[in-house]
């Protein structure tokens, strides 16, 4: 009995040290913010837009009368800086805005060109904001307009953009974190995935509400930034895939080749990159980029019997030539037009030869544009699909 009294007394005393969540707030007291848009207003102020979910409509997206009900709404406000704009946003909300669930950030193109360096401080100081988020530049448009669009397959536009990026084999929800890392290094300059507003059916006009050609979001490559975090320009989707391959971030890719004799496509699922810096006696640097990929042939219209090793090797060489050509073109374009090392060649030197990097890091922005960079490709076909010869080769009467 005495032991039981001691235990009860100890429990009562421990309660004094349990503060509980006295200042916590329930979810129904918060406005759950899942996407943020940053734009430059006409008067030079910053305009912040938010995509906020409507919990009552999130599950079924059907209202009581059976009609469609959006699971989100968009809100925006301007301010002298980010915090001022967010304060003005809060005056339109009956609940406290909560950004702990934010998944995607969009920069309007005009905002990105103006520069984002002096606008990012609030994100790094806010403890409730996660750095694990996707990040896009809205090509030829504003973030505010994009956040108002709905998607027929997803409940929110933010989710659609995130999944499209994942399907493209890109950076996914680490894009924002990688941007911040690159912004604080000298051996790599930032790049941000690009997204644009397009139509579901190409080359079809129509703006009526009942038109089947509705507006959708589309991944449109990548935006190139300089050391001052100002956008310099864009790379298209194909160039972006080679950029990601060289950076070691690409997860999958389909390569298509076309010649007079036919065309073919391979889907690469095992992708690697190895960059080797080489140094000469006069302190000159060159890089050899080795791109390796394995995958399955999805289509072959060359009339080749891919069960034959010689034919298979011939097709592999065609793909290797294609990869080498486009990778080198992408590197040369970035060197000539933008002059910023978005690939991270400087970081390769930093990792492999930190002593040499000390003498190069302050001048790397001037050294990179003239650096000699060559590409070597190795493609292996590990699957030819259905057994048997191509329908084309069977009908041609050609011996394989």
The per-residue pLDDT for range 337-357, each reduced to its tens digit, is 999 999 999 999 999 999 999
**Topology of 252-400 in CATH?**
GMP Synthetase; Chain A, domain 3 (3.30.300)
> Distance between CA 204 and CA 201 in Å, rounded?
6
Edge-to-edge strands, sheet with 285-300:
253-259, 262-279, 285-300, 372-383
> Distance between CA 71 and CA 21 in Å, rounded?
30
The residue assigned the tokens 């030829």 is: 140
> Distance between CA 2 and CA 357 in Å, rounded?
72
DSSP state of 62: B
Q: How would you class 31 by CB atoms within 10 Å of its CB: exposed for 0-12, middle for 13-18, buried for 19 or more?
A: buried
pLDDT beneath 70: ranges in the chain? 1-29, 57-69, 122-129, 203-213, 386-400
Q: Look at residue 144 in the predicted model and tell me its pLDDT.
A: 92
pTM of the model: 0.83
The domains of the chain are located at 28-204+212-235, 252-400
Q: Look at residue 6 in the predicted model and tell me its pLDDT.
A: 59
Residues of the chain by 3-state class (helix, strand, coil), percent to 5: 35, 30, 35
Contact 163, 319 (CB under 8 A): no
Contact 375, 328 (CB under 8 A): yes
Q: Look at residue 335 in the predicted model and tell me its pLDDT.
A: 96
At residue 312's C-alpha, the angle toward residues 309 and 313, to 5°, is 85
Q: What is the pLDDT of residues 198-210, one digit of tens each?
A: 888 876 655 554 5
CB atoms within 10 A of CB 117: 12
CA distances (Å), 144 to each of 90, 191, 221, in order?
17, 21, 20
Contact 351, 248 (CB under 8 A): no
Give every CB contact of residue 103 below 8 A, 6+ residues apart in sequence.
Answer: 34, 35, 133, 134, 158, 159, 162, 173
> Distance between CA 277 and CA 354 in Å, rounded?
13
- Which DSSP helix (H) or strand (E) runs through 380? strand 372-383
> Distance between CA 72 and CA 160 in Å, rounded?
13
What are 273's two structure tokens? 């990159």
What are 370's two structure tokens? 């003239």
> Distance between CA 63 and CA 56 in Å, rounded?
9
Q: Look at residue 65 in the predicted model and tell me its pLDDT.
A: 42
- Which DSSP helix (H) or strand (E) runs through 48? strand 46-53
Q: Look at residue 39 in the predicted model and tell me its pLDDT.
A: 94
């Amino acid at each position: 009995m005495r032991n039981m009294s001691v235990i009860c007394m100890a429990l009562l005393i421990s309660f004094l040290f349990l503060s509980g969540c006295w200042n916590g707030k329930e979810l129904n007291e918060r406005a759950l913010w899942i996407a943020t848009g940053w734009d430059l207003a006409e008067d030079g102020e910053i305009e912040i837009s938010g995509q906020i979910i409507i919990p009552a409509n999130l599950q079924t997206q059907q209202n009581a009368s059976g009609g469609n009900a959006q699971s989100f709404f968009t809100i925006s406000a301007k301010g002298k800086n980010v915090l001022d704009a967010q304060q003005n946003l809060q005056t339109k909300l009956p609940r406290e805005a909560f950004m702990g669930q934010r998944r995607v950030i969009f920069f309007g193109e005009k905002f990105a060109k103006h520069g984002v360096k002096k606008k990012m401080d609030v994100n790094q100081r806010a403890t409730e904001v996660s750095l694990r988020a996707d990040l896009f530049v809205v090509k030829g448009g504003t973030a505010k307009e994009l956040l108002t669009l709905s998607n027929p397959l997803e409940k929110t536009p933010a989710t659609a953009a995130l999944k499209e990026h994942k399907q493209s084999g890109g950076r996914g929800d680490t894009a924002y974190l990688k941007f911040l890392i690159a912004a604080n290094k000298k051996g790599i300059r930032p790049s941000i995935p690009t997204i644009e507003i397009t139509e579901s059916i190409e080359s079809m006009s129509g703006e009526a509400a009942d038109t089947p050609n509705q507006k959708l979001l589309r991944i449109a490559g990548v935006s190139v930034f300089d050391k001052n975090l100002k956008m310099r320009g864009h790379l298209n989707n194909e160039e972006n895939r080679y950029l990601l391959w060289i950076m070691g971030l690409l997860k999958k890719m389909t390569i298509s080749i076309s010649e007079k004799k036919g065309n073919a496509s391979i889907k690469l699922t095992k992708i690697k990159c190895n960059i080797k810096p080489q140094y000469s006696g006069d302190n000159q640097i060159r890089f050899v980029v080795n791109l390796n990929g394995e995958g399955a042939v999805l289509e072959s219209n060359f009339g080749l019997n891919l069960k034959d090793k010689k034919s298979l090797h011939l097709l592999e060489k065609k793909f290797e030539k294609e990869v080498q050509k486009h990778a080198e073109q992408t590197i040369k374009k970035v060197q000539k037009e933008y002059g910023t090392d978005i690939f991270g060649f400087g970081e390769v030197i930093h990792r492999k030869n930190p002593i040499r990097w000390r003498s190069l890091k302050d001048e790397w922005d001037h050294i990179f544009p003239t650096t000699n960079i060559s590409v070597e490709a190795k493609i292996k076909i590990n699957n030819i699909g259905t057994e048997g010869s191509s329908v084309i080769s069977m009908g041609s009467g050609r011996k394989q």
